[in-house]
Amino acid sequence: MVARYVESSRLPTAWGVFDMHGFEDVESNKEHIVLTMGDVGDGAPVLSRVHSECLTGDAFSSMRCDCGPQLDAALEAIAKEGRGALFYLRQEGRGIGLLNKIKAYKLQDAGADTVEANEQLGFGADMRDYSILKPMIHHLNITAVRLMTNNPRKVKALEEHGVNVVERIALHTGANPHNEKYLSTKAGKLGHMMDETG
C-alpha cells in the first residue's frame, strides 16, 4: 500500500484539543487520519487505538455494534492521559463498504451473524488491511504503543510493521440486547479477546 502524508491541523473536541494528521492511500484514494495529543514521537510507549470507520456506530450511535462507545472511550482515555494516538482507518464494515454493510445488516435481521452475513455476500469475515499503518506510524515516529483493543489482528499488524506493543489494554463498553450476538460472534469466530483485564 502506497500512502502519503497530506497535512496536519488542530482539532478541538469534547475531550480536548487534538492534532489531526491526514494521509491518503494513493492506490485506493481513501483518506485516513490520526488524532494525536502530546509528544508521541519521544520514544516512550504511546497509548493508542486503531479504529476502523463505522459510520453507523461512530456518527449515528448504532446499538448493533460497540464501535461508537469504543471510539469515545479511547479518545477520553487519551485525553485523560494527555498523550496518545488514535488511528482512524476508512474501512467501513470490516472493509466491505457502507452499502454492503447495509446488505449485511439485512441478512443479520434474517438470522445470520456478522461473519455469516459477510460470507453470504461473497466477502471474507474480515477484509480490513492494516498496511496503511506503516507510513502513518513512521511519520509520527512512534516505536512502541500501549494498544487499546480486543482484536489480536491489530496487535499482530502493528508488530509486523516494527511497532513494539508493550501492553494490550482491553476496551469493553458493555453489551446491549442489540449487539449481544455481534459481540459473541467477534469472540467466537474472530478471536477477539473479551476479557475485562487485558
Predicted local distance difference test score (pLDDT) of residue 28: 83
Which residue positions form the known binding site for GTP? 49-53, 70, 92-94, 114, 149, 154
Distance CA 105, CA 64 (A): 9
Q: Which residue has the higher pLDDT, 173 or 10?
A: 10
For residues 160-165, give the mean pLDDT.
88
Could you tell me the three cell numbers for 8?
496536519
Which residue positions form the known binding site? 49-54, 65, 67, 70, 92-94, 114, 149, 154
Distance CA 166, CA 175 (A): 28
pTM score:
0.87
Catalytic residue, from 25, 58, 128, 168: name it.
128
Catalytic residue, from 58, 126, 146, 168: name it.
126
List pLDDT tens digits, range 91-124: 888 788 899 889 988 998 998 888 888 889 888 8
| Annotation marks residue 128 as catalytic | yes
| Domain segments of the chain as ranges | 3-91+128-189
For residues 75-82, give the mean pLDDT.
97
Q: Please give the sequence-ordered ranges of beta strands (E in DSSP) within the chain, or none if there are none.
A: 3-13, 16-25, 31-37, 46-52, 84-89, 144-148, 164-169
User: Of all residues in the chain, what percent carry a pLDDT higher than 70?
Assistant: 85
User: Which CATH architecture is the domain 3-91+128-189 placed in?
Assistant: 3-Layer(aba) Sandwich (3.40)
Residues sharing a CB contact under 8 Å with residue 26, sequence separation 6 or more, in sequence order: 2, 3, 4
Predicted local distance difference test score (pLDDT) of residue 41: 93
Q: Among 40-54, 64-78, 95-109, 118-132, which is the least confidently predicted range?
A: 118-132
Which residue positions form the known binding site for Zn(2+)? 54, 65, 67
